[in-house]
Amino acid sequence: MKLRLCRLLAIAAFVCFLGSIQTLAQNAYVTNDGSGDVSVIDTATNTVTATITVGTAPFAVAVSPDGGTVYVANIDSDNVSAIATATNKVIATITVGSSPEGVAVSPDGSTVYVANQHSNNVSVIDTATNRVTATIPVGSEPGGVAVTRDGRTVYVANFLSNNVSVIATATNRVTAAITVGRGPVAFGVFIIRPSFAGTQVSSNCHG
């Protein structure tokens, strides 16, 4: 029931900057659960410019900090599709845990964190090799995942555990489990203090 509801709510779109910031060339990548593909929208014209076939039931999507790669978690095929934004082609298909539902990229672009709903763990992907380098046990039915701006900590929302797992990226180990409300699924933006205004914010929102 929860997964079906999430799929209905999560037509996920992320804006990707292509080239320099000055060019302001932007694409939105939208995961289409029912058709197993990703629609690429040119936000300057609000038209679909490409359709990319990925895995079965694509859900969460995240973009690398440099805008070069889009990562799509495919729930029913237990893998992640890596898409090169320069060509809008899948350049790697990475096997992860069971029912990957959340995905986030580290601020330096070196690592992708994937929350696997039915195997109750997080897959750590090295973006240089597109291989899983670690698997971290977390709570029950993890979904939303986010990385702090300094890249030192990953937060994972565990739907059935009613808590959030805190992962230290230096060791890939859970350092705390924070009890929250019932059925946590998503993260918003990590807030920057006013003195840091104008710097880049790293965020991930799920659901």
Q: Which fold has domain 2-196?
A: Methylamine Dehydrogenase; Chain H (2.130.10)
Q: What residues pair up with 20 in beta bridges, in sequence order?
A: none
Cα–Cα distance for residue pair 26/28, rounded to 1 Å: 7
Q: How far apart are the first and last CA of the chain?
A: 14
Mean pLDDT, residues 142-167:
96
Q: Encoding tokens for residue 86?
A: 């320069």
pLDDT tens per residue across span 158-203: 999 999 999 999 999 999 999 999 999 988 766 665 544 443 333 3
Q: What is the DSSP letter of 191?
A: P
pTM equals: 0.84
What radius of gyration do the chain's Cα atoms show? 16
* Average pLDDT score, the chain: 85
**pLDDT value of position 24:** 39
92: CB partners within 8 A, 6+ apart: 81, 82, 130
